[in-house]
Amino acid sequence: MPDSPDKPETKARAQKSADKALTKKSAKPRKKKRSPKPSGPTPPWYKYLMFTFMVVGLLWIIVFYVTQGQFPVPILGNWNILVGFGVAILGFLMTLRWRG
């Protein structure tokens, strides 16, 4: 036997569908899309700077190990490793913005 309109389940379903219809109408308007950034290639100096940071970071760590902490900055001690990695990571992070 089909559901009669007097049953509470049918009334609840009707109320839910009415609520959905109201929320669709009163929904906030969508945000405007951002205008696309110019996607041209990055300037040539960016590539050189990026690779320079990577190499300088690597050399910083190598010099620290080879000189047994005498160079590049003896006051920093083992923090020289962190400085070297930081400079190298800066170069690697620059690769995320590089457009060839």
The 10s digit of each residue's pLDDT in 24-74 is 555 566 777 777 766 789 999 999 999 999 999 999 999 999 999 999 999
Whether 61 is in a domain gets the answer yes
Whether 5 is in a domain gets the answer no
DSSP secondary-structure letter at 100? -
Whether 36 is in a domain gets the answer no
Whether 85 is in a domain gets the answer yes
Total of domains in the chain: 1
Q: Which domain holds residue 60?
A: 44-94
For residue 2, what pLDDT band results from cuts at 50, 70 and 90? low
CA-wise closest residue to 58 among 81, 74, 76? 81
Q: What is the pLDDT of residue 34?
A: 74
Whether 39 is in a domain gets the answer no
Listed as own residue / partner, the contacts of 41-48 with beta carbons closer than 8 Å and 24 or more positions apart are 41/99, 41/100, 42/97, 42/98, 42/99, 42/100, 46/94, 46/97, 46/98, 47/98
| Alpha helices per DSSP H over 1-100 | 8-25, 44-66, 79-94
